[in-house]
Structure 1
Amino acid sequence: MTPGGTGSDTLTRPSPVPLRQDDGTGTGIGIGIGEGTALYVGAVLGGGLLALPALAARVAGPASLIAWAVIVLLCVPVASAFTALGTRYPDGGGIATFVTKAFGRRAATPVGWSFYFTVPVANCCASYIGGEYVAGALGGGRATAMVSAAVILVVAYVGNWFGLRMSGRMQLAMVGLLMLVLLTAVFTALPQTRAENLEPFAPHGWLAVGGAITLLFYSFAGWEAVTHLSGEFSDPRRQLPRITALSVGVVAVVYLGLAFACVGVLGPAMNGSAVPLTMLMQRGIGDATQAVTVTVAILLSFGTVNAFAASGARLGAALGRDGGLPKWFAKGGAAGEVPRRSLAVLAAIATLVMLVLSVAPVGVDSLMSAASVLFVTVYVAGLAAAVRLLRRMSAAWCGAVIGLIALVGSLTFFRYFLLLPVLLVALAEMFRLIQRSRAVERTTP
């Protein structure tokens, strides 16, 4: 199918997905279900989980639990739609590739830019939240938090420099330990839940739930990450649905369990805290709190940075290949290769963001909202592509329609942050016009 086309053959008979050569271990040269699930869960849970229960409760009180439930419910149709697209069109471009197939290359460039240039901002935010937990345990204040965040970023980007198999194995081990610690914290603290901590349920009014949702979209981001890695799986058509089902289940249990435990156990004492998970663990496991919370903070933050660095680097290479970025970015973008040039650009941008954070009074909640509005814009474009490309009335198509309606409605809560996607669209269009002008100059005698 040519870009922008939607021929019926594509709708009913997607191109066969070639299997990656088996290495004799049963998992193939590409990443397997365990590594893929770990990358997926790490991308979705992320460092934001460390701070979001307190931030959402500050905005909406106990009614923030409704916002968490909405986010979890949205995970199902959105994840199923992206999985369906990933199995049909496995490519490092992810959503940008889907938008190209549905609406043409001109529409895909700003979508690709929105994800690519948000990745280093989101990664800095996730790593800094983890750094705050380290600072809370070790002391040293903001300086310790910044140094810890920098270490998390360096380890994740270096791991990806040596290839996805290396970063995938690191993620698998870390996510397994992370699940054990998080679930232990939740279930040991839950018996201390107090009904009075849920009253008044909506102290700031019901509209405040919408404000909490805009923050929580930071935790919603990540379901598109595996679409950028789909070409790296040994058998994406078989693996991606399993990975998605496993990931949705894990994410739902952790999100809802941790949010309810924080609100029900901690109550108003959590408001304004930068380390609500530390407070929760103090109630549940006592003396071992500091060591455990630092471990969890590092694992959560690293999981986000690692997964988004991997998917963002591959997106940058795909954009270079397709003309959405300079051709220089394309090197290393083929399946099994390492897109080091694209990865280096992401690392450079992350370094600049960290330098800004070190001198400017920018709040983490503002960074989260900025990243969230760009992620939601990308999701809207991806789901619109799914509505056009997937077979009508299939389960994945219905999920795409539901998710698209919900996400378009959520954009109204972002207010002035909506200027960010508008700015990126303008910059992407400016880049396209410059590229076209240069192409005309090269072909003109």
Structure 2
Amino acid sequence: MKNIFRTKPIESLLEEASGKESLQKVLGSFELTMLGIGAIIGTGIFVLTGLAAANYFGPALVISFILAGLACGFAALCYAEIAAMVPVAGSAYTYGYAALGEFWAWIIGWDLILEYAFAVGTVAIGWSGYFNNILMDLGINLPKAITKAPFEGGVVNLPAVLILLVITAILIVGVKESATANNVIVGIKLAVIILFIILGVGHVNPANWHPFMPYGWKGVFSGASIIFFAYIGFDAVSTAAEEVKNPQKDLPRGIIASLIICTVLYIVVSAILTGMVPYLKFKETAAPVAFALQQVGITWGSALVAVGAICGLTSVLLVMMFGQTRVLFAMSRDGLLPKVFGHVDSKFHTPLRSTLLVGIVTMIIAGFTPIAVVSELTNIGTLAAFVIVSASVIVLRKREPDRPRTFKVPFSPVTPILSMAACIFLIINLQGVTLIRFAVWLVFGLVLYFVYGYKNSAINEE
């Protein structure tokens, strides 16, 4: 069983990325940055800010965003180095395969499947919340049976299912078309966020920031672990590595630029949001930004923000589902999952079968699962992926010190170690039930690996 730690040479990975079942190289640094912003800005501002402020940290939401941003900053540097060096689909799964071996690659690939599936589910549920708000403003009230999951008193969250159907169709058509659609809706989203800042800053009441830390430091740390969900977009950027025209330069730029832009926006918006409305009121809504404007009487602004949020969350869905399909595609191409999902369609030049599977699974999650459950499961998968990527940087620096690196993590191995420590700290501060669910998912994945993946791995043929 020692062969479970066999690594896949970087040369083999690069050869696959230019072979028969490779993906089209059509993306540049601008598209990558927009993909990152498209994935990062959305759920954190438009959905989770209210949920987290009300239940975990109150106005100290700002501190939690800073803590989560620091952890992501360390991880982003690690991603930038290794993504530029190994520009192949699969993100942390592929990097783990090259550095740590097949067993760890499987674990992190299985984690990424969990991460993206539940990320898409969370965002689709939030999208449904804003969509229903818009309809209510127009005097249309959909029955609870088709807007809530069974655990919330409904039958199915139909709007969440339908938007995922549309996203699946867009991704099947092609990556260039998907990137163009993302650029447009990200532009709308950024305009709406700037509008909210302009409208909201004049209605900030400093009294709403007291008590600033009602749940203490424990609440801040727990909140950081949950709000961490808002930062996972640059991981989705790295899944597009195989489709980048000049990955050595464009990937580091896209990853780091998108993280910096989004961190600044998160801090500003969260401060204004909790200053406009007492944090406990956010328990009443799944659409906190529009709700805050409603509370101060700016109803037209609320409607506009709701439309912008719909666009923003749509871009998050697009990029997250894109990332999910590429991880599944990479694992299937390597034989660890059925190879039928590692096929590139000759007409659309996209992994059509992987996209269809991801679309069906995420529709089920979004339609029948409560938002609090799916968001926390996403976070733990992401944090585990960041740990693996950071460790991979250290191992590859030691094993292949002479391999060309167009971007290097500063102060290595200190920075990768800080990245791992920060992510492990955030994992520890997640809810106990989340850790249990994650453990169950891992056990199921290990059974699948030893029953199927190990025997069918493409390395056996090589």
Q: Normalising by structure 1, what TM-score?
A: 0.86
Q: Supply the distance in 1 between the matched residues of 2:416 and 2:191 (Cα, whole angstroms).
A: 32
Pairing 1:294-305 to 2, within 5 Å after superposition:
294-305=306-317
Q: Does 1:34 align with 2:49?
A: no
Which amino acid is 2:96 matched to? V
1:395 counterpart residue number = 410
Q: CA deviation at 1:285?
A: 8.7
Q: CA deviation at 1:390?
A: 3.8
1:163 counterpart residue number = 174
Would you say the 8 A contact 1:133–1:293 is kept in 2? no
Pairing 1:139-218 to 2, within 5 Å after superposition:
139=136, 140=141, 142=144, 143-144=146-147, 146-218=157-229
1:306 counterpart residue number = 318
Q: CA deviation at 1:90?
A: 0.7
Q: CA deviation at 1:396?
A: 7.1
1:24 counterpart residue number = none
Would you say the 8 A contact 2:17–2:242 is kept in 1? no
Q: Does 1:370 align with 2:377?
A: yes
The Cα offsets for residues 295-351 of structure 1, whole Å up to 9 and x where unpaired, read as 2221221111101111211111110111221111110199x9311111111111112
The sequence identity of aligned pairs, in percent, is 20
Would you say the 8 A contact 1:320–1:329 is kept in 2? yes
Would you say the 8 A contact 2:77–2:409 is kept in 1? no
Q: Does 1:98 align with 2:95?
A: yes
2:40 counterpart residue number = 44
1:275 counterpart residue number = 287
Q: Does 1:253 align with 2:264?
A: yes
Q: 1:353 aligns with which of 365, 381, 385?
A: 365
Q: Supply the distance in 2 between the matched residues of 1:263 and 1:311 (Cα, whole angstroms).
A: 32
2:424 counterpart residue number = 408
Q: Supply the distance in 2 between the matched residues of 1:347 and 1:219 (Cα, whole angstroms).
A: 21
Q: How many residues align?
A: 423
Which amino acid is 2:449 matched to? R
Q: Supply the distance in 2 between the matched residues of 1:285 and 1:42 (Cα, whole angstroms).
A: 29
Moved more, 72-81 or 391-400: 391-400
Q: Supply the distance in 2 between the matched residues of 1:111 and 1:19 (Cα, whole angstroms).
A: 20
Would you say the 8 A contact 2:60–2:213 is kept in 1? yes
Q: CA deviation at 1:118?
A: 3.3
Q: Does 1:119 align with 2:116?
A: yes
Q: CA deviation at 1:283?
A: 6.7
Q: CA deviation at 1:115?
A: 0.9
Which amino acid is 1:246 matched to? A
Q: CA deviation at 1:410?
A: 1.3
Would you say the 8 A contact 1:77–1:402 is kept in 2? yes
Distance 1:220-1:192 versus aligned 2 partners, 3 A rule: same
Q: Does 1:419 align with 2:436?
A: yes
Distance 1:260-1:439 versus aligned 2 partners, 3 A rule: closer
Would you say the 8 A contact 1:3–1:102 is kept in 2? no
Q: CA deviation at 1:51?
A: 2.0
The Cα offsets for residues 377-404 of structure 1, whole Å up to 9 and x where unpaired, read as 2222222212222479941734322211
Q: CA deviation at 1:87?
A: 0.4
1:338 counterpart residue number = 350
Distance 1:342-1:6 versus aligned 2 partners, 3 A rule: closer
Moved more, 276-285 or 54-63: 276-285
Pairing 1:231-242 to 2, within 5 Å after superposition:
231-242=242-253
Moved more, 281-290 or 376-385: 281-290
Q: Supply the distance in 1 between the matched residues of 2:72 and 2:361 (Cα, whole angstroms).
A: 29
Q: Supply the distance in 2 between the matched residues of 1:73 and 1:126 (Cα, whole angstroms).
A: 23
The Cα offsets for residues 25-45 of structure 1, whole Å up to 9 and x where unpaired, read as xxx951122221111111122
Which amino acid is 1:107 matched to? W
The Cα offsets for residues 18-75 of structure 1, whole Å up to 9 and x where unpaired, read as 999xxxxxxx951122221111111122334212221221111222221111112223
Q: Supply the distance in 2 between the matched residues of 1:214 and 1:419 (Cα, whole angstroms).
A: 16
Distance 1:166-1:439 versus aligned 2 partners, 3 A rule: closer
Unaligned runs of 5+ in 1: 21-27
Q: Normalising by structure 2, what TM-score?
A: 0.83
Moved more, 101-110 or 163-172: 101-110
Distance 1:437-1:340 versus aligned 2 partners, 3 A rule: closer
Q: CA deviation at 1:278?
A: 0.7
Q: Supply the distance in 2 between the matched residues of 1:79 and 1:285 (Cα, whole angstroms).
A: 40
Q: What is the alpha-carbon root mean square deviation over aligned residues? A: 3.1
Q: Does 1:293 align with 2:310?
A: no
Q: Does 1:434 align with 2:445?
A: no
Distance 1:100-1:19 versus aligned 2 partners, 3 A rule: closer
Would you say the 8 A contact 1:110–1:425 is kept in 2? yes
Q: CA deviation at 1:284?
A: 7.7
